[in-house]
């Protein structure tokens, strides 16, 4: 069995004092972010190593950006959450100076939930509740359409090529509404997905040279099979 990370009877809990903060800052400045387990004792703190790590990452780290989220940050959170779900650390990784805890708190704040609802999006599952949200043009031919599935769809320019990224959540292959001819509604065109996504829950990336309906049908079938066999969603990438 695993031993507890610290002796809880001898550790402080709750809010950190200025003295504790300073001890932690001084120690990390001198030694860097080394073994967190050893930090409390070495720094003279009556705290659990995990608590020290959290305090440093979420509050004391010099790169942490304080203050309200700007509108572009808010938009990016909404878009990335539609694509990645509650993977707060991945989302925070695209927001310089923001921590996963901060993004998570912000997402769960009434402010953002109200905004999403006003856009017609269910904050819990990103389902479109009416046809006002996330209108997008279809590929390069500017057709607009709306729908009601949870597939995420995004376009961005990577290596000067137009890339459409379709993310297929667990439940999207089951409903009859997922006709391959549907123009699924998900994310707006302006999402820059120039990012390296390491999604451990995805079985694989499926790439196609052309995103025709036949290709999409075939890829969906493949993804559905993988989902049934592995219980994991598949990321579909069309070029």
Residue 14 Cβ, how far from DNA at the closest point, in Å? 5
The end-to-end CA distance of the chain, in Å, is 49
Chain centroid to Cα 102, Å, comes to: 13
- Residue 156's beta-bridge partner residues? 163
Is residue 233 within 8 Å of residue 227, measured between CB atoms?
Answer: yes
Q: Which is nearer to DNA, 35 or 209 (CB)?
A: 35
> Which parts of this chain interact with DNA (CB under 7 A)?
1-3, 5, 8, 12-16, 34-37, 47-51, 53-55, 58-59, 68, 86-90, 100-102, 104-106, 108-111, 200
- The C-alpha atoms of residue 91 and residue 89 are separated, in whole angstroms, by 5
Q: How far is the CB of 95 from DNA (least distance, A)?
A: 13
Q: Tell me how far the alpha carbon of residue 190 is from its chain's centroid.
A: 17
Pick the closer one to DNA by CB: 47 or 94: 47
Q: How far is the CB of 11 from DNA (least distance, A)?
A: 7
In terms of CB distance, is 31 or 135 closer to DNA?
Answer: 31
Closer Cβ to DNA, 30 or 181, answer by number: 30
CB of 233 to DNA, least distance (A): 14
Cβ proximity to DNA: between 64 and 222 the closer is 64
Which pairs with CB-CB distance under 8 Å and at least 24 residues apart come from 152-157? Answer: 152/82, 152/83, 152/126, 152/186, 152/187, 153/184, 153/185, 153/186, 153/187, 154/79, 154/83, 154/186, 154/187, 154/188, 154/189, 154/191, 154/193, 155/189, 155/191, 156/191, 156/192, 156/193, 156/194
Q: Which is nearer to DNA, 124 or 176 (CB)?
A: 124
Shortest distance, position 82 Cβ to DNA, whole Å:
15
To the nearest whole angstrom, how small is the minimum distance from the Cβ of residue 91 to DNA?
8
């Amino acid at each position: 069995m695993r031993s507890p990370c610290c002796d809880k009877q001898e550790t402080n809990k709750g809010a950190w004092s200025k003295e504790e903060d300073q001890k932690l800052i001084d120690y990390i400045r001198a030694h860097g972010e080394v073994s967190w387990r050893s930090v409390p004792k070495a720094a003279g703190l009556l705290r659990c190593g995990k608590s020290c790590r959290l305090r440093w990452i979420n509050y004391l780290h010099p790169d942490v950006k304080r203050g309200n989220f700007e509108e572009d940050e808010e938009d990016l959170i909404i878009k990335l959450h539609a694509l990645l779900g509650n993977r707060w650390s991945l989302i925070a990784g695209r927001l310089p100076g923001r921590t996963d805890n901060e993004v998570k708190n912000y997402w769960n704040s009434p402010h953002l939930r109200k905004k999403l609802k006003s856009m017609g999006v269910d904050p819990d599952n990103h389902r479109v509740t009416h046809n006002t949200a996330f209108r997008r043009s279809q590929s390069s031919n500017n057709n607009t359409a709306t729908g009601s599935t949870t597939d995420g769809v995004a376009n961005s320019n990577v290596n000067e090529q137009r890339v459409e990224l379709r993310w297929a959540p667990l439940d999207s292959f089951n409903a009859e509404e997922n006709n391959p001819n549907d123009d699924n509604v998900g994310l707006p065109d302006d999402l820059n997905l120039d990012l390296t996504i390491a999604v451990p829950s995805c079985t694989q990336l499926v790439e196609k040279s052309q995103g025709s309906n036949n290709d999409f049908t075939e890829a969906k079938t493949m993804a559905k099979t993988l989902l049934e066999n592995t219980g994991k969603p598949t990321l579909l990438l069309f070029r």
